[in-house]
Amino acid sequence: MWKVLVAICILGQPCTLFEEDPVKYYHSESECMEAAEAKSRSMVKTFQDFGYYIDSEAHSCQFIVLKNEA
């Protein structure tokens, strides 16, 4: 299973790593990357709407082995 990770760096602030809450798990990396890109775009837009300057952003997916998969 895969989960979304988004890192956003706001000018003058340390970079912050975000995970979905509650965590959503995706069955494939490609499905997860689509969700990560959409989530990242949405988060960047929200920060910009509130007047923050986004220095950089990155999104990716992390592979997680769940107990029932092992």
User: Each residue of 46-62: pLDDT tens digit?
Assistant: 999 999 999 999 999 99
User: Each residue of 11-68: pLDDT tens digit?
Assistant: 999 999 999 999 999 999 999 999 999 999 999 999 999 999 999 999 999 999 977 7
Asked if pLDDT for residue 70 goes beyond 60, the answer is no
Which pLDDT score is estimated for 26? 96
Q: Are 28 and 22 a contacting pair, CB within 8 Å?
A: no
Q: Token pair of 16, please?
A: 């912050």
Those residues with Cβ within 8 angstroms of residue 2's Cβ, 6 or more apart along the chain or in another chain: 25, 26, 27, 28, 29, 31, 32, 61, 62, 63, 64
Domain containing 59 equals 2-69
Give me the number of domains the chain comprises.
1
Does the global pTM surpass 0.85? yes
